[in-house]
Chains A and B, each alone.
Chain A
């Protein structure tokens, strides 16, 4: 099964770090972990991806466990505009043919 497991919803206070977990216990050695988010029915937006090492960009950080069975997306200082559904996706290098699960609805509260 190529799907990942995420909690259906999470809350976070504005200005605090949001930590979104993802379980991908059956990920294969050459599969990446990708994160996208979807703000209020808009088209999804790419956030970050990783294979083995932790990654950071201007939007977020991605922490992947050493056994690669799970990962955590970190939004260091969540804002109200970060309220969205966050999708954790596993897939091939090219990033094509993404399989979206139901994601985590993150609500950032003032």
Chain B
């Protein structure tokens, strides 16, 4: 049981380049999330998904797109990377049960630098 995995672990981009970050979970969770964390700050929600084929904007969605074609995968895309997107990106997943708290399980993070 690998939990939540993220690919790649590190990446350096030049301004204007594009890339896709992959998140995978093997816990059959309905919800998946993408966060970013800048130095000395807490995590901020970029986008999230409540199920296969659905996505929604979080707190800081601009400059990112996401897709959830399969329940176990959640992709985060940067179409034209900017230095302001230099950050650590965390993916998380959780189940959804209405009357019970659903803790979020986080991946190890992807460290992205945009030059």
Q: Which residues of A are at the interface with B, using a C-beta cutoff of 8 A?
A: 32, 34, 36, 41-46, 49, 87, 93-103
Contacts and interface: CB of A to CB of B under 8 A. Distances in A.
A95 B94 contact: yes
A32 B58 contact: no
Interface in B55-86: 58-59
B108 A95 contact: no
Contact of B42 (A41, A49, A95, A100): A100
Given A96-B31, A96-B96, A46 B44 contact: no
Given A44-B90, A94-B97, 16 more contacts: A41-B88, A42-B109, A43-B4, A43-B108, A44-B92, A44-B106, A46-B103, A49-B101, A93-B99, A94-B101, A95-B101, A96-B31, A96-B33, A96-B50, A96-B102, A97-B58
| Top 7 closest pairs, chain A to chain B, by CB | A43-B106, A100-B42, A46-B103, A100-B43, A95-B102, A95-B101, A101-B42
Contacts, number: 66
B106 A45 contact: yes
Given A41-B88, A93-B98, A96-B31, A46 B42 contact: no
28 contacts: A32-B101, A41-B109, A43-B107, A44-B43, A44-B106, A45-B106, A46-B103, A46-B104, A49-B101, A94-B96, A94-B97, A94-B101, A95-B94, A95-B101, A95-B103, A95-B104, A96-B33, A96-B50, A96-B96, A96-B102, A96-B104, A97-B48, A98-B104, A99-B59, A100-B43, A102-B41, A102-B42, A103-B42
A32 B102 CA distance: 12
A54 B49 CA distance: 32
Nearest to B58: A97
B45 interface: yes
Contacts of A43: 4, 90, 92, 106-109
A91 to B, nearest CB: 9
Contacts of B48: 96-97
B87 to A, nearest CB: 12
B77 to A, nearest CB: 21
